[in-house]
Structure formats: structure tokens, C-alpha cells
Amino acid sequence: MERVVTRTIKSYEVEVLCLDTNSKETFTQKERVTQVFKTKEKLLNHLKSKIDTEIVKAIAVIEIGDESKQMYGMNESDFVKYGKAITKRSEV
């Protein structure tokens, strides 16, 4: 049996208030983030990079959900194939 590389990832579900600039209607959208941000403003800026288009704009963070953890894994051969070889963590 081939060895498996595993990693537990912490994430948060965030509810974001968005604006459709064509219809001028607001709606909420849920996004999952894996980083912790010191302020809602920094979180919103991160979410804007994921959500914003010419038509849709993220305008506010409504709610930050509880932390959840999920374990992921892949065969060691796939990890070597798809991973990036580094000498220090800061090189990722």
C-alpha cells in the first residue's frame, strides 16, 4: 500500500453581502476561507479578489462562521508529482 500525505485544513464559512450592479439588487454569497484575518476590512479585501467581477461586487462581511477542520490526503507519488520542491517554508 502506498504511503499517504495528509494535511488538516482549518477554514471558515463567511457570508458576504454582494451587489449586482446591473439589477442594483443585493444578495448574499457564502465563501470558504482558510486564512485568519485581523480585521473584517482585510477579510473583505481578500473576498473581493475572489468575488468581484464587472457585474458583482462584494460590499460587506455579514457573518463569520465557526472554524471547521477537514483532513485531506493524497498518495505520496501524487504529492511529489504535483508539489513544488522547496528548501524553506518561506519559498512556497
Interval 37-88: pLDDT, tens: 999 999 999 999 999 999 999 999 999 999 999 999 999 999 999 998 888 8
Q: Cell numbers 473576498 correspond to what residue?
A: 47
Amino acid at 36: V
Question: Can you list the alpha helix ranges (DSSP code H) found in the chain?
Answer: 40-51, 76-82
Joined grid coordinates for residue 81: 508529482
Joined grid coordinates for residue 87: 528548501
Question: Can you list the alpha helix ranges (DSSP code H) found in 4-92?
Answer: 40-51, 76-82
Q: Cell numbers 454569497 correspond to what residue?
A: 29
